[in-house]
Chain A
Amino acid sequence: MTHPLATRLASLAVMLGLFLAWEAFCRFFAINPFVLPKPSEVVMALITRFPALIPHAAQTMTTTMIGFLLGATVGVFLGVVTGISRVAYQIVSPLLVSLSSIPKVALVPIFVMWFGAGSVPAVLTAFISSVFPAVVNVATGVATTEPELEHFMKALQASRGEILWFVNLPRALPYFFASLKVALRPIGASATSFCWQRQISTFRLYLRHWFCSARLASRYTQSLQFSKSDSQRGRIGAMARYSFKAGERHVPTAKSHPNRRVGLLPSSECLRW
């Protein structure tokens, strides 16, 4: 067995190695920083823009944590309820698994539409992305408790609550923590938060990039719809255009974009907006 410190150092070395390789790659091929910034540049930006980043980081942190705690609490409760009864588990688990496979980012626009841009959709997104994994995992953990453990408790004439407290819940804990790891992808919350933070220039850049790619994607879809009638194609196209135009109004024009000549998008696409 290797020394635990050695293992720690090795994992640190692997991490550092990745960043070094990344840096070397960018330098060697002279990659444009808009396409892929060097880690050193990222660190520099982090330091120089630290005061500007802090409020956003705090906002993301609080909304994520609130949503996350709510989601975990509700998730554990529902998970225990479904996990305890075999029938409930069999009835509900297909629904839960299929619901949990919905990409949570897809719900962000809906939440923004319902509750407006702000903290509520961010909290909701974090809630939704943590509640389903928690329910599914806790239910699985409780439902798959070894029958011998429950028999042992029943033979001691333990009540249902005691079996739950002493056996089912501790048994489900690893599952619960695994679900938290899955749930802690704050991507959803951050997506909502940059919708909210649109007045801040740093985030405008991201938002602009988002709409650019979305618009490109909509055109791509349009061109793929050969089988649809022209009118239908036109309608879908118009809807897509309208929605993205609506979004664009909140985005600065291309002229103010510092790096407008560069990037993954064709420059003509960028400039026409």
Chain B
Amino acid sequence: MPLSAPVARAIRAVPAVSKQDVVVQFDNVRLDYAGKKKRITALDASNFSIRRGEFVAFTGPSGCGKSTILKLISGIIAPSAGSIFISGREIGAMPVRIGISFQNPTLLPWLTVRRNVMMPLRIVPPFKDEFRAKKNSEFLDRANALLAQVGLSKFADHYPWQLSGGMMQRAWICRALIHDPTLLLLDEPFGALDAFTREELWGILQTLFIRHRPTVLLVTHDLNEAAFLADRIFTMTPSPGCISDESAANFARPRNLDLMRTLEFTSLTFRLRDLIADAHRNDRHEVV
């Protein structure tokens, strides 16, 4: 006898690994989208789980569905098959507090940096009602404190177009963190920056990570960035994207840039590089 939908959902809502500290779990997740002639699989047979307070990076050649994973978790798109669990509940069952950042810093140009940073507080449920009820000195302090941590205090009343690219990214990180997100999703956050600014922001992001301890999912094609920031690195193969490898980066925090000169670090990045190059080569052969 087939189960009724709510019962089936209730059963499925218990994930296979029912650990308290698993925040994100993907069970055989597949995502198809309609191409010009046939359906294209962007992501296939993805299984992984991420623990609370973990910093995870996804790397792979372009078009391998790295960003798709973030879009699935944030609920912007729904999976074609399989299930995604967040804090033990299937996605969409209950609101999850998510901070998100994209490659292009999409600050709202008509708001000052401070108001941009406070934007999530006006939308995300527990803060939203307080924001309406009492005028927000507490929230202002919160925004100011975060901006101070990334060195943007002087620019709090500036508009986004008055900032440099690096400053915008720093404001973005503040905005992604202000509502104490369970999950911080970063989609190539430093992709458009020069090397020096990028390294500076790695330091800032790491400081914030140590202080606030969110669970971070970082999508990047910069292997140094992945190895420097993350605890665990997933490597992905292209079309259809699936996770091919998982490497640990067990370096003590806080890490500093000297770490990048160590043998462990370079051997890790070279290993990642080989994995991605292989995947890329195989993909090429299939096409030819």
Contacts and interface: CB of A to CB of B under 8 A. Distances in A.
A151 B76 contact: yes
A153 B76 CA distance: 10
A155 B108 contact: no
Contacts of A153: 123
A8 B98 CA distance: 48
Contact of A154 (B76, B110, B119, B124): B76
B100 interface: yes
B221 interface: no
Interface string B63-90: 0000000010011100000000000000
B123 to A, nearest CB: 5
Given A156-B120, A166-B119, A170-B110, A151 B98 contact: no
B53 to A, nearest CB: 20
Main secondary structure of the interface of A (DSSP, over half): helix
Contacts of B110: 170-171, 173
B191 interface: no
Nearest to B74: A155
B122 interface: yes
Nearest to A158: B123
Main secondary structure of the interface of B (DSSP, over half): loop
Contacts, number: 49
A157 interface: yes
A152 to B, nearest CB: 6
Contacts of B100: 151-152, 155-156
Interface size class of A (residues with CB under 8 A): 10 to 19
Interface size class of B (residues with CB under 8 A): 20 to 34
B108 A148 contact: no
A7 B1 CA distance: 81
B41 interface: no
A170 B122 CA distance: 15
B102 A152 contact: yes
A167 interface: yes
A111 B98 CA distance: 56
Interface in B102-140: 102, 104, 106, 108, 110, 119-120, 122-125
3 smallest CB-CB distances across A and B, nearest first, come from A155-B74, A148-B106, A155-B100
8 contacts: A146-B104, A151-B74, A152-B106, A154-B74, A156-B100, A156-B123, A166-B108, A166-B123
Given A148-B106, A156-B123, A157-B123, 17 more contacts: A148-B104, A149-B106, A151-B71, A151-B74, A151-B76, A151-B100, A152-B100, A155-B74, A155-B76, A155-B100, A156-B124, A157-B75, A162-B123, A166-B108, A167-B108, A171-B110, A173-B110
Interface of B: 71, 74-76, 95-96, 98, 100, 102, 104, 106, 108, 110, 119-120, 122-125, 179, 185
Interface of A: 146, 148-149, 151-158, 162, 166-167, 170-171, 173
